[in-house]
Amino acid sequence: MPIQPEITQRDLRSRSKEIMDAVEHGQSFTVTRDGHRIGELIPLRRRRRFVPRQEFAVMSRNAPSVDIETFRADQEAAVDHEVDSPYDR
């Protein structure tokens, strides 16, 4: 794990735009106050929304097969068959 640069609380206050831009681009920092480490600024992990088709195919090769009849029975059991009309109140 790479060592994070340390910045003082004063640096954070006076260079906040520059530091936050760096965090947005993946840089992490350890914040210090009076020479003591007090926290970390780390970028949020961004979740991928889509998986490329090739990657999905590779991941799916070892997945268990799905029995379609069992799958449909599970869906049927989960469905609420009583439909309430909002007008019947």
What is Dmax (Cα atoms) for the chain? 68
How far the first Cα of the chain sits from its last, in Å, is 61
pLDDT of residue 49: 79
- Check residue 79 and give its pLDDT: 80
pLDDT value of residue 63: 87
Walk along the chain (89 residues) and give the pLDDT tens digit of each residue: 567 899 999 999 999 999 999 999 999 999 999 999 999 999 998 777 788 899 888 988 888 888 999 999 998 888 876 667 667 65
Q: What pLDDT shows up at residue 3?
A: 78
Residue whose C-alpha is closest to residue 3's, from 43, 22, 30: 30
